[in-house]
Amino acid sequence: MMVKGVEGVTFDELGEIELASGEKRRCKVLEVDGDNVVVQLYKNAAGINLSNSKVRFLGRTMELGVSGDMLGRVFDGLGRPIDDGPEILPEERRDINGLPMNPAARVYPEDGYLLCAEYGSRESGFLSGVVILMETKDSKL
């Protein structure tokens, strides 16, 4: 979704779209081009009319509040509890984006193959991790 006429918005920044009904939906900046940005919605776009909605950018990226109370709990893709337990009182907040990869430091396989498998739940939009296995002529899986 394109949002026009913005200032000071950065890549990966979180935003909130407030509909005419008062409902708020979260989004994330995917591309910045001058005073226009492209955002990704975390819910569907049904019912959104930007001409009568307000968009507010939050000045931060996606963070997750973490604490020891999270152990054994079940969360949705945005880190909200969905197991009917109490809300989590975070001890600290952590940026979920991590550091950018350095493509110059990448090690390429010479002979062999590369296997990449994801695990987690695609329904929730949250992947638990990625497993990468590589076999070359000098190493075995």
Q: What is the pLDDT of residue 114?
A: 52
Rounded to 5°, the CA angle 65-103-125 comes to 35
- Which residues, including other chains, have CB under 8 Å from residue 43's CB and lie 6 or more apart? 25, 26
Q: Is residue 112 very low, low, confident or very high in pLDDT (cuts 50, 70, 90)? A: low
Q: Is residue 96 very low, low, confident or very high in pLDDT (cuts 50, 70, 90)? A: confident
Q: In what order do the strands lie in the sheet with 2-4?
A: 2-4, 36-41, 24-33, 14-18, 54-57
Q: What is the pLDDT of residue 47?
A: 78
What's the pLDDT tens digit per position in 24-42?
Answer: 998 999 999 999 999 998 8
Q: Is residue 129 very low, low, confident or very high in pLDDT (cuts 50, 70, 90)? A: low
What distance in Å separates the CA atoms of residue 127 and residue 53, rounded to the nearest whole number? 31
Which of 120, 118, 122, 125 lies closest to 79, judged by CA?
A: 125
Q: What is the pLDDT of residue 140?
A: 47
Tell me what the mean pLDDT of segment 105-131 comes to.
Answer: 54
What distance in Å separates the CA atoms of residue 114 and residue 133, rounded to the nearest whole number? 6
Q: Supply the Cα-derived Rg of the chain in whole angstroms.
A: 20
Q: What is the pLDDT of residue 124?
A: 46
Q: How many CB atoms lie within 10 A of CB 64?
A: 15
